[in-house]
Amino acid sequence: MKEINIAFITERMIKGHGVDLVVDRLADGLARKGYHTKVYCNYFDETFTNRKSYGIEKLHYFKPAANPIIYEQRIRRLVPYLNSKQVDLFIIQSFPFYSLIPKLNAPVLAVDHGVVSVTDMPFKRKLKFKYMYHSQNISYFKKAEGLITVSKYLLGCLPLSLRKKASFIYNGANHYKMRDVSDPEVADFRESMGVSADDILLLYVGRLNLTNQPYKGLAELVSIYQDIYQKHANIKLLAVGFSSKNDEEYLKNQGILAIGNAPEEQMPLLYSSCDIYATASKWEGFDLPIAEAQGFGKPTISYNIGAHPEISRNEHTGYIVDDYQEFKEKLEILLINPDLREKMGREAKAYAKEFTWENSVKNYDHQIKKMLSLKDTDIQPKPHINRYRTSKSKDVSVVIVNYNSSYLVLKECLQSLAKQTHKEIEIIIFDNNSSNKEILRDIKVEFPHINIIYSDRNLGLGEGLNRAIDQAASKLILISNFDVVYNIDAVEQMVLLINNLESSYIGVAPKIKFYFQRDFIENVGISIDENFYSGNYGRGQLDLSQYNKQEDIFGTSFVSCMIRKKAFLKNRVGPIDPSFFLFYEDVDFCYRANLHGYRFKSCPQAILYHRYGCSFRDEATAFQRIYYYQKLNIMKTAFKNAEEYNMKRILKNELGIQKQNLRDANLKHIARRIASDFRKSSRHLKRQRHFIQFSRQLFDSDIIK
């Protein structure tokens, strides 16, 4: 058996875009065939991040340029990174990534989804799409080892010289779970939308902006609907798709029902609830929604353009019309003839079986094996691989790294967690080879539900947290010191806030107060200045409710904070740096998160109390240890994360401080150690810096405010 690595390259993976859905189904299907598949894209949302069958990675984001040639030049800077990956075949799906084809060191299969019609577009946008058409057909596609179009229509649009090596593979349309939607469900939905049992509901699925994609014809469909409504008041039009709130409101003001950004699981209900599917699009390379609607047994009506004559059959699965007037005439025939709608719906459902992902994946598999000279026996199918990541049983996983805690301190922390109003909690303690293990044995007797992981050596705080997080069974991680005590609703308050924030917010910071001076604030999140010195919002201030407003913050203290578990994935922020033994592991993590465009918010309604300095109270060398780790890790954080100018400035300052400390008899030993250990770590840091800077989304000036 061979391990074949396939890399899909596409612009984005977000809800509401047809190409993104196609990539998702192909990557999943080929993974089941036995290939190792991964998707590289500029950005993605929650829709595709829970896929277990394939990986997804965000590429370095290059700001699109108005000039497509300049944009391609920027994108080509990805070549060294992509060529460093072990890839046997690249499958490139979209502009501007076709420009990578001549530079990649593995074979490329280009997929042509077509270039849209430029009718009614502004002049500059016309130029952009004209350039896209000519550059890919005259230059890039020639240099690809394989070329696939998604319809016969697009195959016919290729220059004759390309058609010889190209073939077409239809997309599938059976991606929605074809569950039986009950009649009561349909009735309830229609009633909720103000559609009665006697009304005829037209459905349109696509982008809901009437101006940015004029070729989609939504404005014309609205006009047709309004004309027909004058004669048939029982007709309703429902528009569903990717949109902004302004798009939805505009449509509603035109008398159109609108649902923006409908979740995938709602689509079967939407298709089942309509009577006719209608689109006035003036260009389509395939048109997934027509095939989807036919799969649900709905007659369709569309213009005779693009791939429509392939996706539907005129006068059998619905009507394919030539102009505005004929559209109205045929639509009226369907409106007044329920028997015809039912007959065409049956034929539509039967014809939809031509468009399955099983067929698509089978054809791609054949093409890939042909390109890579593979035999069927070279790949071991994995038909039972789970498409989705398994859901977890607990809402919150509390992770605590323990080292020589006292019984009473740890017990008080665990008791406060046991009393929380939020009950779905698991607790994981990672013990860093404590010398007083009998304390944990006693704790386990008193709290039998906790999970204790024992390490045979002290791995430090950063790696200890990573090991505990790896074992967590929840989507939300509560990082906690062992020397804190939580108010009874602290966890509930953090869960409520983070679950109501958009996905770019990955963590929330509670209000941490001093255990022995409970009217004073330790922090409500952390900050960082231009020298990479960390600070604490509210440190030492009397709590007069001045921090009771939820606010955006730089980051969270790992004394206690709640972070989405997915943030620790390599294609997000990544794990906590295991080389940070003590201190600054939270600053480094939060800085990396900011670089990638993620955010944090304070949650002052969640309150806890921290025995500040408890871990070092009995150590004679506490100052030296704290100073050593803080100074060393400031430099490591800056070396990895700061832009080059800031990095050099900070290192010069910090190494200069240690040079001065060599003159101090009390500090010279630790100064030598700081400088030496920093230099020893430079090779490791350089590798990290290369990746971090390559995937940077924000400048330092955007983070340090």
Q: What is the pLDDT of residue 203?
A: 97
Q: Do 316 and 268 lie in a common domain? A: yes
Distance CA 488, CA 482 (A): 16
Neighbour count for residue 642 (Cβ, 10 Å): 24
> What tens digit of pLDDT does each residue of 157-193 get?
999 999 989 999 999 999 886 567 889 999 999 999 9
Q: What is the CATH number of the domain that holds 436?
A: 3.90.550.10
> What tens digit of pLDDT does each residue of 132-151 get?
999 999 999 999 999 999 99
Q: What is the pLDDT of residue 390?
A: 46
Stretch 107-113: mean pLDDT = 96
Q: Do 635 and 655 lie in a common domain? A: yes
Residue 18 lies in a domain: yes
> What tens digit of pLDDT does each residue of 274-303 get?
999 999 999 999 999 999 999 999 999 999
Model pTM above 0.75 = no
Q: What is the CATH number of the domain that holds 72?
A: 3.40.50.2000
Mean pLDDT taken over the chain? 91
State which H helix or E strand residue 417 sits in.
Answer: helix 407-418
Contact 367, 183 (CB under 8 A): no
Contact 102, 83 (CB under 8 A): no
Residue 29 lies in a domain: yes
Stretch 104-112: mean pLDDT = 96
Please report which confidence band the pLDDT of residue 49 belongs to, taking 50, 70 and 90 as the band edges: low
Tokens coding 549: 């407003």
Question: Is the predicted pLDDT of residue 690 greater than 60, yes or no?
Answer: yes
Please report which confidence band the pLDDT of residue 522 belongs to, taking 50, 70 and 90 as the band edges: very high
Q: Which of 564, 583, 616 is the last residue of a domain?
A: 616
Q: Do 204 and 164 lie in a common domain? A: no
Q: Do 488 and 603 lie in a common domain? A: yes
Q: Do 335 and 367 lie in a common domain? A: no
Q: What is the pLDDT of residue 393?
A: 41
Q: What is the pLDDT of residue 177?
A: 65
Instruction: Show the DSSP H helices in 277-317 as ranges.
Output: 288-295, 308-311
Contact 159, 138 (CB under 8 A): yes
Tokens coding 610: 């921290």
Q: What is the pLDDT of residue 623?
A: 80
> What tens digit of pLDDT does each residue of 600-648 get?
999 999 999 999 877 655 555 678 888 999 999 999 999 999 999 999 9
Q: Please state whether 426 falls in left (phi above 0), alpha (psi between -120 and 50) or beta.
A: beta
The domain total for the chain is 4
Q: What is the pLDDT of residue 391?
A: 41
Domain that holds residue 698: 622-703
Q: Which of 551, 583, 616 is the last residue of a domain?
A: 616
Neighbour count for residue 300 (Cβ, 10 Å): 28
Please report which confidence band the pLDDT of residue 380 belongs to, taking 50, 70 and 90 as the band edges: confident
Distance CA 60, CA 79 (A): 11
Q: Do 331 and 460 lie in a common domain? A: no
Residue 387 lies in a domain: no
Q: Which of 596, 616, 636 is the last residue of a domain?
A: 616
Q: Do 472 and 511 lie in a common domain? A: yes
